[in-house]
Structure 1
């Protein structure tokens, strides 16, 4: 555990047996919605994997502290590093969707060395320029009870309400994220699968992300940013990549 990092009680969901795979969910979602509900985790587990799916702090069944001291910079990456250490894992795979992909990329730049990695729902531009996205989500939190249909923030506000996100804790968490320097990405040797919905450019270009990584390939599946996680193709392409 890094100095200044206070471990949070995280809910960790597991499915299957075999080679460990840690999957990280997206912003304001949780492990169940992102990986379990639509069969993605089950499809991967059937290929001989122990799928380990934490709920990030402030998400799902994990803790949502209102104490500023519980939110140092890059706290989600610190949490994942602590989880890997706590589980005693030394040979594993790692991946994530959207915020989970962003966290996975950050962990790779911090020196984490999984056998293989998956970046889903992410483009190159989604790894930097965070301040604009942060301010968008902070405005959603601040105005979520008054945002009307037609406002570009409406869908995000409805999703937060559906997921019962703690707004005060979420605002603290959003301020812990920093930019990932694209110049750090060519130094990642890990084989990476970039997965994107064919209609998903919410986080920029997945092709640009693939091109800057030295050992990556791109798979497109049906769907938008929100709908791609519901598609059976997501579990299939991840399973194919990991089992190859």
Structure 2
């Protein structure tokens, strides 16, 4: 466990040795589900990297505070700053999936400087229009017990059930994530991999995101938002990008 800027304990999973790669998982998920279960972390380890995978605040084995004071604006980006500082990371790469991509982008905007950055499962609208996306998930939490198959929130609720999500903590967290304007994205000046499922438009247009960034490569892999993270192609693409 690593204490963050405010003392909240964050679980950190580490594998391998070499140049560090910091991997940030998606909403309602954890390091095990996003990065370990489907082999992405192992592929990076086999390629000679040390893989560092926190469970985000209110997720996994990290603390799940129920006090609104524990969720100030941009709290996840501040947690990333605390992780980078606390672990003494200097020459490192970073990638995120979905909410992890938003968090990675916000961390860079706040001054974290990875050598290379991977944004997975993310499009331009997902960064610039977070309020709409957050409202969808907050509604799913509020209607948790009444959502039935066929409801647009059904998949989100099903995943929350699978992951045994602490809904009170998740609701507070969702209200803390800051929006990102296109102008702010100029801070992402390092080489960026925009990696997205070919049927994933949950967070808007990945090609449009790649186009607006100063130095970005767009790569499509098979899958929807939920299924792309299960594809071995995700780990392969991260290895190929970070080994350069």
- TM-score of the alignment, normalized to the shorter chain, above 0.5: yes
Cα separation, partners in 2 of 1:89 and 1:187, compared to 1, 3 Å = closer
Partner of 2:78: 78
Q: How do 1:132-171 and structure 2 match up within 5 A?
A: 132-171=132-171
3-state DSSP of counterpart to 1:62: coil
3-state DSSP of counterpart to 1:126: helix
Could you list the runs of 5+ residues in structure 2 that have no partner in the other structure?
none
Give, in whole Å, the separation in 2 of the partners of 1:221 and 1:132: 26
Partner of 1:218: 218
Partner of 1:37: 37
Q: Offset of 1:5 from its aligned partner?
A: 4.8
Q: Offset of 1:32 from its aligned partner?
A: 0.4
Q: Offset of 1:82 from its aligned partner?
A: 0.3
Partner of 1:103: 103
Give, in whole Å, the separation in 1 of the partners of 2:110 and 2:69: 22
Q: Offset of 1:111 from its aligned partner?
A: 2.2
Give, in whole Å, the separation in 2 of the partners of 1:91 and 1:186: 21
Q: Offset of 1:142 from its aligned partner?
A: 1.0
- Do the aligned residues in 1 keep the contact of 2:105 with 2:188 (CA within 8 Å)? no
Deviations 1:47-75 (A, max 9, x none): 11000000001111111011111111100
| Structure 1 vs Structure 2 CA RMSD | 1.2
Partner of 2:227: 227
1:186 aligns with 2:186: yes
Partner of 2:68: 68
- Choose 9-18 or 182-191, whichever is displaced more: 182-191
Q: Offset of 1:207 from its aligned partner?
A: 0.5
- Do the aligned residues in 2 keep the contact of 1:8 with 1:79 (CA within 8 Å)? no
How many equivalent residue pairs?
241
- Choose 79-88 or 107-116, whichever is displaced more: 107-116
Give, in whole Å, the separation in 2 of the partners of 1:215 and 1:132: 27
Give, in whole Å, the separation in 1 of the partners of 2:86 and 2:5: 14
Q: Offset of 1:135 from its aligned partner?
A: 1.5
Structure 1 runs (4+) deviating above 6 angstroms are none
